[in-house]
Homo-oligomer: A and B are copies of this chain.
Amino acid sequence: MNRNLDENIKNIIDSIKKSKNVFLASHINPDGDNLGSMLGLAIAIKNIGKNVFVLKSDIIPNDFTFLPGIDLIKEYDDNLGNIDLFITLDCSDKERLGDNKKLIENSNRVANIDHHLSNTNFGDINIVDPAASATAEIVYYIIKDMEIELTQDIALNLYTAINTDTGSFKYDNVTSKTHRIVADLLDTGFDKNLVNINLYESMSFTRMKLFIKSLTTLETFNNSKIAVIMVTQDMLKETGATLEDAEGIVSFIKKLSTVEGACLLKEIEKNNIKISLRTKKYLDASEICGKFDGGGHKRAAGCTIYKTIEESKKMIVQSIYEAMQV
């Protein structure tokens, strides 16, 4: 970490020590990193005797109910007391906080801990490290520098956070630092297998059914460099699944050796098709989705096309094809 980050870590530690009531929140549509980094830090601060309030920003997916401290998460209430310090985790901007955004105005101090390059530095203290694979990496350094004991509960949360934000240590963002942190976490002796079963072997039956059904729609184009798959309203009815159950399907078809662009079309309704695009080595997914007023990252982006699913498919395939000709 650079010197500026070190300085800001000192500032947040100082702030935590001075505070009686510490509030923590993360973003809407919770994932492993926001829940894990938030709960890991919350338990650590609680363990040094502070009043800790972990605020609910959204419904918590069933996948994460195994996390220690998950029952600490509560809706905000005006009677909870003075907000000496409000720590936001994994939130690139205020809007991502959902309803808890309003607390920023009511807090004595706001500390913004995140690893998104796009972070707007909205806090009084900003600890933003885009080189971190997950916000949990930064939380690890804070806990270590504060000399708070790394308990199994804290370690399990941080491990879950890093594991999910790196696709089990596969993604670009993983560094040697990531693995060294994980080694320290494992040294606490928490049950790593419990985490891996919960994260990777807890698929619901309806989701599996949707997965199988959508896979049968697999089509490829341009010498199998483009792979397309669909999830229709009919499939959801047949399987009893929801659109959220489509998570992971597009990554699966990207496994094909020939594929550079993998695309999932989700039928929200008849003329409203949500598209997820993943690219492997060279195609800029955000540029392609940008043509349909969408956006995202270089290797993962999305957009919506207001046509039927068949028309939308033709349009997105044509756009990917054109991007491949450059």
Tell me the A residues contacting B by CB distance below 8 Å: 168-170, 172, 174-180, 182-184, 186-187, 192-193, 196-197, 200-205, 208, 211-212, 215-216, 218, 220, 224, 253-259, 280-281
Q: Which of B174, B201, B257 contacts A280 (CB 8 A)?
A: B201
Q: Count the copies.
A: 2
Q: Say yes or no: B192 contacts A183, CB within 8 Å.
A: no
Further contacts, 15 of them, CB under 8 A, given A202-B255, A212-B215: A168-B168, A172-B193, A174-B192, A176-B182, A178-B183, A179-B183, A180-B180, A180-B183, A183-B183, A200-B255, A203-B255, A204-B257, A205-B220, A208-B256, A212-B212
Enumerate chain B residues within 8 angstroms of A175, measured Cβ to Cβ.
186
Q: Which residue of B lies closest to A168 (CB)?
A: B168
For the complex of A and B, 6 pairs with smallest distance between CB atoms:
A179-B183, A176-B183, A176-B186, A202-B257, A179-B179, A203-B255
Say yes or no: A281-B197 contact (C-beta < 8 A), given A205-B224, A218-B212. Answer: yes
- In the complex, what distance in Å separates the CA atom of A196 from the CA atom of B220? 22
- In the complex, what distance in Å separates the CA atom of A184 from the CA atom of B258? 32
Q: Say yes or no: B177 contacts A208, CB within 8 Å.
A: no
Q: Say yes or no: A256 contacts B179, CB within 8 Å.
A: no
